[in-house]
């Protein structure tokens, strides 16, 4: 009985130690330095590869009907062939992100803007260094035609990004993409 207890204890201890998690980001020093420079100069662009809408019954119905881009599901939409960007140019933002999800409040008459668009100075713009990921967390609030968006973006040293958008009129949505340098002359 004692050996069974010792064996069980060692097995449990091994399981606990084996399942402990550590956060480790794979990147090289050159990419980290390039990200630091882009953030310091505030001139970069994020192009999303996928949108991550909140999977609702309506969105799943649209997905099942085959109305989403090829290779997409109700909770992940492929954006590789869809134009989109989030550009930081000094203190200004230029945002053009497609939206997939449900609008909770009316969009008004003659509103052709179905995506998330903004050009100008955001409110509460903040970029802080994230010690855990060795990257940056960027957050801001933008307002467009009576609708307000709270945006939180994670910038990782391997030049990947994660954008989360919470709207006053729509269900939340996220985007995964890549960070690159941006020149206003392009």
How many independent structural domains does the chain possess? Answer: 1
125: CATH: 2.40.128.410
Residue 122 falls inside a structural domain: yes
Which residue, among 109, 183, 181, 177, has the nearest Cα to 146 in the 3D structure?
A: 109
Residue 161 falls inside a structural domain: yes
pLDDT (0 to 100) of residue 181? 94
| d(C-alpha 168, C-alpha 113), whole Å | 15
pLDDT (0 to 100) of residue 67? 85
Residue 20 falls inside a structural domain: no
Residue 167 falls inside a structural domain: yes
Q: Kindly report the average pLDDT of the chain as a whole number.
A: 85
8 A C-beta contact, residue 132 and residue 23:
yes
**pLDDT confidence of 165, banded at 50, 70, 90?**
very high
What are the tokens at 148? Answer: 């307000």
Residue 88 or residue 19, greater confidence: 88
Residue 173 falls inside a structural domain: yes
């Amino acid at each position: 009985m004692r050996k069974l207890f010792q064996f069980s204890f060692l097995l449990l201890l091994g399981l606990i130690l084996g399942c402990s998690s550590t956060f480790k980001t794979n990147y090289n020093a050159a990419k980290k330095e390039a990200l630091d420079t882009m953030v310091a100069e505030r001139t970069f662009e994020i192009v999303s590869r996928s949108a991550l809408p909140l999977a609702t019954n309506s969105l799943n119905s649209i997905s099942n009907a085959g109305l989403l881009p090829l290779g997409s599901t109700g909770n992940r939409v492929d954006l590789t062939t869809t134009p989109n960007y989030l550009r930081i140019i000094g203190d200004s933002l230029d945002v053009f992100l497609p939206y997939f999800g449900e609008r909770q409040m009316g969009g008004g008459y003659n509103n052709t803007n179905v995506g998330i668009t903004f050009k100008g100075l955001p409110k509460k713009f903040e970029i802080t260094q994230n010690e855990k990921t060795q990257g940056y967390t960027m957050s801001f609030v933008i307002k467009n035609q009576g609708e307000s968006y709270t945006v939180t973006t994670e910038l990782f040293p391997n030049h990947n990004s994660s954008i989360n958008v919470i709207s006053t009129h729509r269900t939340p949505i996220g985007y995964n993409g890549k960070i690159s340098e941006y020149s206003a002359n392009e």
